[in-house]
């Protein structure tokens, strides 16, 4: 499925003809349109299944979907917590796709599959994500899968994803290193190798860095990555007026996307970052949906 078809998917041709693009960006299913007066919200950072180290509130997909809808989310890009420690990623992706496409295609969830370039057969796993499950992207967990972004295996994966026009999400952190299980240490992912790697992909690979604004705090580095096309979700952006501080420090607004990291974080955490913002309403709407729409349309 092409990017434009993905964005324009709607429950009916009439709705598609009369509804603004931001209201019908429903992937993985028709989803539900916002009520009159509500702003659509695309959440690019959601997880299904169970966090392997403790139970989380809303770790049931139906309960999570209900909470997201109640909070105004119209589309949620979802990966699976099972991807962290399970070696059979094809089975993980099969379950993820089944959950996301349940209820006759009306699910709020858009599946983003897991691929580990250090495992044999990863190209077949990537092919299945794209051709079998019709996924629009993949979500990588380098710190749990034992590689860095300087690893040639990652570069090879990025090249293959680019050929398939897949969005590549990289989870920079899953949990504060201070609270990790002592037998499962997963250091934060260093994003800096992307500065050398992204310019090699002239066709325009789309990369999102999730949970990265907790450790990637230098606005200059963020701006340099943004200039190469990278986008960042706000789930782990900390501090009062965090969004304004980034923009004031020359981080492009277009580089920011709404992400909640639900259910690990309560979705209210990211919603409050927008609510407390003194940015004009149009700019917060851009973070909620337009930046992601433009990101997907990018050649």
> Element (H or E) spanning 70, and its range?
helix 61-70
Q: What is the secondary structure of 188-240 as a DSSP string?
A: PPP-TTHHHHGGG-TTT--EEEES-TTT---HHHHHHHHHTT-EEESTT--ST
Tokens representing 84 are 């962290």
Q: How many distinct structural domains can be found in the chain?
A: 1
In this structure, are residues 1 and 165 in contact, taking their beta carbons and an 8 Å threshold? no
- Condensed to tens digits (0 to 9), the pLDDT of residues 34-69 reads 444 467 899 999 999 999 999 999 999 999 999 999
pLDDT > 90? residue 201? no
Hey, what are 122's tokens?
């990863």
Would you say residue 140 lies in a domain? yes
Q: Is the pLDDT of residue 16 over 50?
A: no
Comparing C-alpha atoms, which of 237, 232, 231 is closest to residue 269?
237
Range name among 6-10, 177-181, 234-238, 280-284 with the lowest pLDDT average: 6-10
| Average pLDDT over every residue of 256-267 | 97
What global pTM score does this model have?
Answer: 0.87
Note whether residue 9 is domain-resident: no
pLDDT the model gives residue 239 = 82
Structural domain contains residue 89: yes
Domain containing residue 45: 37-178+187-297
Measure the CA–CA gap between 58 and 104, rounded to whole angstroms: 22
Q: Is residue 289 part of a domain?
A: yes
- pLDDT tops 70 at residue 190: yes
Weakest-pLDDT range from 20-24, 38-42, 106-110, 184-188: 20-24
Nearest-angstrom CA–CA distance, 197 and 264: 30
HEC string for 121-180: CHHHHHHHHHHHCCCCEEEECHHHHCCCCCCHHHHHHHHHHHHCCCEEEEECCCCCHHHC
pLDDT above 70 coverage of the chain, percent: 85
Residues 113, 96: contact at Cβ < 8 Å?
A: yes
Could you tell me the CATH number of the domain that includes residue 197? 3.20.20.140
Does residue 29 have a pLDDT over 70? no
For residues 111 and 97, the answer to whether their CB atoms sit within 8 Å is yes
Query: Is residue 21, in this structure, part of any structural domain at all?
Result: no
Query: Does residue 120 sit within a domain?
Result: yes
* pLDDT value of position 54: 94
Contact 275, 234 (CB under 8 A): no
Does the residue 202 lie in any domain? yes
Distance CA 239, CA 218 (A): 14
The answer to whether residue 32 is domain-embedded is no
pLDDT for 240 equals 81
- The residue ranking higher by pLDDT, 140 or 39, is 140
């Amino acid at each position: 499925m092409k990017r434009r078809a993905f964005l324009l998917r709607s429950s009916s041709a009439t709705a598609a003809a009369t509804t603004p693009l931001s209201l019908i960006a429903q992937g993985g299913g028709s989803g539900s349109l916002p009520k009159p007066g509500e702003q659509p919200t695309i959440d690019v950072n959601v997880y299904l299944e169970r966090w392997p180290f403790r139970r989380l509130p809303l770790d049931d997909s139906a309960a999570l979907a209900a909470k997201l809808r109640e909070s105004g989310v119209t589309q949620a890009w979802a990966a699976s917590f099972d991807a962290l420690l399970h070696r059979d990623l094809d089975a993980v992706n099969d379950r993820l796709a089944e959950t996301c496409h349940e209820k006759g295609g009306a699910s709020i969830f858009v599946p983003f599959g897991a691929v580990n370039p250090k495992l044999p057969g990863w190209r077949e796993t990537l092919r299945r994500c794209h051709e079998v499950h019709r996924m629009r992207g993949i979500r990588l967990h380098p710190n749990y899968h034992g590689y860095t972004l300087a690893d040639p295996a990652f570069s090879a994966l990025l090249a293959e994803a680019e050929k398939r026009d897949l969005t590549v999400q990289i989870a920079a952190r899953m949990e504060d290193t201070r609270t990790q299980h002592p037998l499962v240490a997963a250091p934060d992912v260093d994003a800096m190798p992307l500065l050398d790697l992204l310019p090699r992909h002239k066709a325009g690979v789309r990369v999102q860095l999730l949970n990265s604004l907790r450790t990637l705090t230098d606005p200059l580095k963020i701006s340099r990555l943004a200039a190469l096309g990278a986008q960042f979700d706000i789930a782990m952006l900390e501090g009062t007026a965090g969004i304004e501080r980034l923009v004031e420090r020359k981080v492009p607004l277009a580089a920011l996307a709404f992400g909640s990291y639900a259910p690990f974080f309560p979705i209210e955490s990211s919603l409050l970052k927008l609510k407390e913002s003194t940015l004009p309403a149009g700019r917060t709407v851009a973070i909620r949906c337009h930046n992601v729409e433009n990101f997907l349309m990018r050649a």
